[in-house]
Amino acid sequence: MLTPNTPLFLPKLFDHIAECLANFLEKLGIKNQKLPLGFTFSFPCQQTKLDESILVSWTKGFKSHGVEGRDVVSLLRKAIKKRGDFDIDIVAVINDTVGTMMTCGYDDHHCEIGLIVGTGTNACYMEEMRHLELVEGDEGRMCVNMEWGAFGDDGALDDLRTDFDREIDAGSLNPGKQLFARRLHKMVRRLVPDCDVRFLRSEDGSGKGAAMVTAVAYRLATQHAERQRILDALRLSREQLLEVKRRMGEEINRGLAKESHDQATVKMLPTYVRSTPDGTEHGDFLALDLGGTNFRVLLVRVRGGKRRSVEMHNKIYAIPQEAMQGTGEELFDHIVHCIADFLEYMGMKGASLPLGFTFSFPCHQNKLDQGILLKWTKGFKATGCEGEDVVSLLKDAIHRREEFDLDVVAVVNDTVGTMMTCGYEDPLCEVGLIVGTGTNACYMEEMQNVELVEGDEGRMCVNMEWGAFGDHGELDDFSTEFDRAVDDCATNPGKQRYEKLISGMYLGEIVRNVLLEFTAKGLLFRGKLSERLKTRGIFETKFLSQIESDRLALRQVRSILQHLGLTSSTCDDSILVKEVCSVVARRAAQLCGAGLAAVVDKIRQNRNLSELKITVGVDGTLYKLHPHFSSIMHETVRDLAPQCEVTFLQSEDGSGKGAALITAVACRIRDAGQR
């Protein structure tokens, strides 16, 4: 064995191998070509990668000096380089047992074990990565060279050895080594009756097998490079994220300024919410929450004073597709029908209560109890609503029903409701963020900067409507062909471009488009597409959260793929799908973090502070349920806004409780003004 002081001479064995190789290439007339080479080296080796193999010990009568403890690939490369008359790309060094498995695996895809019983004996098989503690990572499988010939060297087989075995051992070149006894077909079937074992004879495993491993390694390396090239378009550098932050900052200023507001993509809409709860609010309030495919009606009981509390009762109703995409009258009649059902359910039929309406779509407000719908998002397309006051549409529907009357006090965006709910718990909460079906943010802006509203005193919550950031091309250089495919097929092409890179409604569809590209190029699912995967929307965003869960085994990822019609997907396919999900979700979290970094830095600069301490109230299923989204987003904000100490507080029902709190605050202020 080598010591640190042993001179590293080149063993003659490798000079001889290089000479044989040169003669062979010359005979075939290909000596001037640089070809990939697979090196079958059938001795116990320690491998850290495919093209590196440290000889542990010689067996089978070999005793060439200066090789044990050294990388045999390096030794062969040096011998070839010393000759200088040909060049070879050594791609893989393998054991003959592995070569045997690979050769038979070419003919039979069920072949996952290799066995040699000849001059020597050995076996290899495909082991789960999670069991291989010598190699990092626990995804997929790896072929393990057992070197089982040494089984018994510790005396484990002594009670099976006969005098004849001991005599043969004593007269061998390596007495006390390689004592494994050989029995096969019948014995294997007898010992593992539950396994259907088929034996397939290999044809030249050490030669053909080495070439097979080399060919597979070449294919895998080429495919890996192509996959990474495609995925690199979805990976953002720190410089790119800083640029997103800078552009968001520019759009914030354009949206606030009267002169540029109409052209700005980030609309920075005034909400007329100027105060957070002070603890004196009390009373019963109704809240409506319309922000997606479900609609909620809530009764919120607010108790003030020392024992202040908020007690809530609610009921969830579905919004049918025909109401979402029919007429405005049909949509608001359905909403009023749900309110009537809820009041009856609560035993309050005919009651008249102050109401806060969480309406989570872009609105222009001139006062707290008015909201002009600018445009539908999130798949809604009800006619006769855009450009109209949603409070008037709601009141008209209530009057058509003629059963009850309600005092609509406030129209609230879910993001503002989130900020108010968290502000009830933490006075430092001055930012609201939603990352769910859609995405949006709001924050407390200085009145002097809100040019759309008269007055310079105090602050007002501004609803950013940041989902439309990028609608004028601000994000084109960060968008990929997959984003463009998702946008082209959406109900609102060219709109909500930032939201389409971030929110739960679109991430699954981005992943599906990447998987389609991979499969079309033969990089996934063996190039075979399932009809289901061709279906828009079939890859739900919840699958991203499930697939990226650290607790989910690869077999469970495969069950999700089988649900998508990919019944023959492999373990490797599962690993690749997981990587695609990870890259898409990471980019979404980073882009969201870059936008938020622009917001908190704006607040810090508004207040001329070198350091800002602030809390962000957050809601939304993507933020709450995805296993890594929140941590990546937090990390991005810390990195891009280092002068801001940002705390994140998860909102508990901002769109319901928040609407009631805003209504309660408005009633308190209104009542105080009437005294």
- Active-site residues: which are they? 296, 360, 414
Specify the 3-state DSSP secondary structure of 399: helix
The CA distance from 314 to 298, in Å, is: 4
Which run of H or of E encompasses 318?
A: strand 309-318
CB 617, CB 418: distance < 8 Å: yes
Cβ neighbors of 649 (< 8 A, separation 6 or more) are 422, 425, 426, 429, 615, 616, 617, 618
Which residue in 268, 249, 248, 250 sits closest to 258, CA to CA?
268
CB 616, CB 647: distance < 8 Å: yes
Q: Within 10 Å of residue 539's Cβ, how many Cβ atoms? A: 27
* CA geometry: angle 622, 626, 629, nearest 5 deg: 85
CB 312, CB 285: distance < 8 Å: no
User: HSE (CB half, 13 Å, CA atoms) of 620?
Assistant: 28
Q: Six-digit token pair at 48?
A: 């850290």
Which run of H or of E encompasses 212?
A: helix 208-232
> What's phi and psi for 636, nearest 5 deg?
-65, -45
CB 378, CB 405: distance < 8 Å: no
CB 151, CB 180: distance < 8 Å: yes
CB 11, CB 58: distance < 8 Å: no
Distance set, CA 56 to CA 63, 107, 120, 602 (Å) = 12, 32, 16, 62
CB 431, CB 226: distance < 8 Å: no
Q: Environment class of residue 375 by beta-carbon count within 10 Å: exposed (0-12), middle (13-18) or buried (19+)?
A: middle
Which run of H or of E encompasses 270?
A: strand 269-270
